């Protein structure tokens, strides 16, 4: 059967000699993997629509999403050109995509998570402090996914203290429009805490090493 779905491309890789395998966080089905047949020969329009950090409307063929449906057509909804053409912002956006991929289960629809990913890509294209925005995104995504990050803070002596707990709460509750206006934020300490948590309980994102090299 053919289905029309809206999705965010989290990552893409070549599979076999010609096909491309993409991981998509879809609005209708949650996270899925889909095959783009003959990726080296597909039209430029379909190729662009299946690149990471792109929101697209896909036409897919398959009996069920768990069986890796095939992409037969696509239209770009949002290309996120501003973050794709800025090296640092691109890394932050890819980090957000990688965290989303690691945390989100397959085939479990969650429109709140979908909209949160859309929003962080939007914010990263314009905000003054992208690392702060990324940290706030991760905190929210962890909470939505049921991870007890607040308990981790309380039980970890290295990050103990009422001050940092309050700061984390302020950051996780801050809207994207106000992310640049927060004051007295211990950004690096909170970031290190978040990275340690991801490393211990999920898996350290591969892009961590690149973010350390570029700094803030």
Phi-psi region of 184 (alpha: psi -120 to 50; beta: other; left: phi over 0): left
Cα–Cα distance measured from residue 32 to residue 86, given in angstroms and rounded to the nearest whole number: 28
Which token pair is 181? 């206006």
Structural domains of the chain, count: 2
Q: C-alpha 114: how far from its chain's center?
A: 9
Quick one: 133 and 30 in the same domain?
A: no
CA atoms within 13 A on the CB side of 201: 16
Q: How many residues belong to the chain?
A: 216
186 shares its domain with 208: yes
Q: What is the pLDDT of residue 74?
A: 94
Would you state the structure tokens that stand for residue 127, as one six-digit string?
A: 């905000």
How many whole angstroms separate alpha carbon 108 and alpha carbon 54?
A: 20
Average pLDDT over residues 54-66: 87
A 10 A CB-CB count for 116 gives 19
For the chain, the C-alpha Rg in angstroms (whole number) is 18
- Quick one: 106 and 163 in the same domain? yes
Provide the 3-class DSSP secondary structure of residue 25: strand
Nearest to 121 by CA among 76, 149, 143, 91: 91
Distance CA 125, CA 128 (A): 9
Domain boundary among 21, 46, 79: 79
State the CATH number of the domain containing residue 131: 1.20.1440
pLDDT of residue 113: 98
pLDDT confidence of residue 198:
93
pLDDT of residue 106: 95
How much is the pTM?
A: 0.92
Mean pLDDT of 81-94: 96
**103 and 72 part of one domain:** no
Residues 4, 103, 175, 161, Cα dihedral to 10°: 170
Maximum CA pair distance of the chain? 57
- Give the end of a domain, one of 17, 48, 79: 79
Query: 120 and 74, same structural domain?
Result: no
What residues make up the domain containing 39?
A: 2-79
Neighbours of 57 (CB within 10 A): 15
Distance from C-alpha of 201 to C-alpha of 199, rounded to nearest angstrom: 6
Tell me: the pLDDT tens digits for 130-179?
Answer: 999 999 999 999 999 999 888 888 777 666 565 778 888 888 888 888 99
Q: Are residues 113 and 199 in the same domain?
A: yes
Average pLDDT over residues 53-79: 90
């Amino acid at each position: 059967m053919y289905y029309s779905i809206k999705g965010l491309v989290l990552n893409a890789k070549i599979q076999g000699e010609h096909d491309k395998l993409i991981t998509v966080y879809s609005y209708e089905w949650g996270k899925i993997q889909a095959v783009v047949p003959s990726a080296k020969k597909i039209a430029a329009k379909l190729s662009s629509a299946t690149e990471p950090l792109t929101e697209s409307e896909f036409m897919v063929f398959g009996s069920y999403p768990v069986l890796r449906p095939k992409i037969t057509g696509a239209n770009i909804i949002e290309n996120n050109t501003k973050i794709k053409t800025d090296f640092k912002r691109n890394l932050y956006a890819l980090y957000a995509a990688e965290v989303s991929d690691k945390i989100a289960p397959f085939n479990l629809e969650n429109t709140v998570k979908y909209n949160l990913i859309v929003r962080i890509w939007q914010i990263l294209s314009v905000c003054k402090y992208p690392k702060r925005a990324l940290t706030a995104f991760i905190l929210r995504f962890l909470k939505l996914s049921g991870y007890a990050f607040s308990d981790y803070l309380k039980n970890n002596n290295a990050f103990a203290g009422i001050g940092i707990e309050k700061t984390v709460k302020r950051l996780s509750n801050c809207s994207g429009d106000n992310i640049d206006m927060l004051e007295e934020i211990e950004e690096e300490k909170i970031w290190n805490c978040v990275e340690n948590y991801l490393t211990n309980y999920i898996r350290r994102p591969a892009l961590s090493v690149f973010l350390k090299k570029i700094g803030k």
